[in-house]
Amino acid sequence: YIWQALYFGRQNSLLNDLPSPLWVQMDWRKPGFKKKSFDYILGSDVFYERRFFEPISRLFDRFLAPGGKIWLGDPDRTVSRDVWTRFKSLGWQVRKIVSQKIKCISQKATVNLWELTPGLRQDRPGNSKPEFRISIFEFIKIRRSYGKDNTLWSISGSGSFK
């Protein structure tokens, strides 16, 4: 909903010399994309309210392509701590890639980077074997080698639901 989140995300990708993903300002509950169209979904600080889990979980189910991956940055908020268990209970493979303490104004915050991959679920067609995993650094190399494509989609946690 808030364009500033997209602006700062884009600036961050430029600062880190990364190819810019498809940045879209939209309502998470009603995205206008073809189903199963994204190989990678990036998100940052999207679970800052408990009520966001259901619509975001449905969004991931609907738009992540088979074999795709989701990477989520999370500032270890109390409200988001049960999210990872909830994803596991829905059949997702959940892995914490890195956890780092960073200085944020006058405080220190812990920021975690999580990876979600579709697990073996009865209701996920075509899931008959575990998913292949790559590290975030391998992902960056892959993105650089492919150049400009729209297989990467980024969401940001600056939206709100009415």
Q: For the segment 22-41, what is each residue's pLDDT rounded down to a tens digit? A: 777 777 778 888 899 889 88
pLDDT computed for residue 158 by the predictor: 39
pLDDT computed for residue 120 by the predictor: 62
Q: What is the CA radius of gyration of the chain?
A: 15
pLDDT computed for residue 96 by the predictor: 95
pLDDT computed for residue 1 by the predictor: 59
For the chain, give the mean pLDDT.
Answer: 75
pLDDT computed for residue 128 by the predictor: 39
Q: Within the chain, which residues score under 70 in pLDDT? A: 1, 120-162
pLDDT computed for residue 109 by the predictor: 83
